[in-house]
């Protein structure tokens, strides 16, 4: 299990903030990795910010991890794990349950928590 300190040292808060911006810009899909309106699922968004080409249509962890450039796989895993630790649920089910606005809010909150870890 990752610690906030490890996430801070890896600057995962930058990726989470980019992910929140991406979802805010394109929308959050609740039915597919990428729907006809261009909205994306949370896992698909994580993979995109970690360098995955847009041509795939999956939000399965094992499929996505094979499509991400090797050097970014650790960041993908850390982002995924950080979100799951925060929401204590599967990220696909959670994001579909709470919707776009709450997902963005939680991502930004988590990013700030990680960024300011240990700052007094």
* pLDDT, tens digit (0-9, with 9 covering 90-100), for 35-79: 889 999 999 999 999 999 887 778 889 999 999 999 999 999 999
Neighbours of 48 (CB within 10 A): 20
120 lies in a domain?
A: no
pTM of the model: 0.92
For the chain, the domain total comes to 1
Contact 46, 59 (CB under 8 A): no
The reply to whether 119 falls in a domain is no
pLDDT above 70 coverage of the chain, percent: 98
Determine the structural domain holding residue 52 and report its residue range: 4-114
Is residue 92 assigned to a domain? yes
98 class by beta-carbon count within 10 Å (0-12 exposed, 13-18 middle, 19+ buried)? middle
Q: Has residue 90 been placed in a domain?
A: yes
């Amino acid at each position: 299990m990752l610690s906030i300190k490890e996430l801070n040292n890896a600057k995962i808060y930058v990726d989470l903030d980019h992910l929140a911006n991406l979802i805010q810009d394109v929308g959050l899909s609740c039915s597919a990795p990428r729907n006809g309106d261009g909205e994306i699922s949370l896992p698909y968004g994580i993979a995109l910010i970690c360098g995955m080409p847009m041509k795939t249509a999956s939000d399965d962890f094992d499929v996505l991890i094979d499509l991400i450039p090797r050097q970014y796989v650790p960041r993908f895993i850390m982002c995924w794990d950080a979100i799951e630790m925060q929401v204590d649920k599967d990220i696909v089910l959670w994001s579909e349950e709470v919707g776009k606005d709450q997902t963005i809010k939680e991502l930004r909150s988590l990013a700030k928590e990680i960024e300011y870890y240990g700052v007094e």
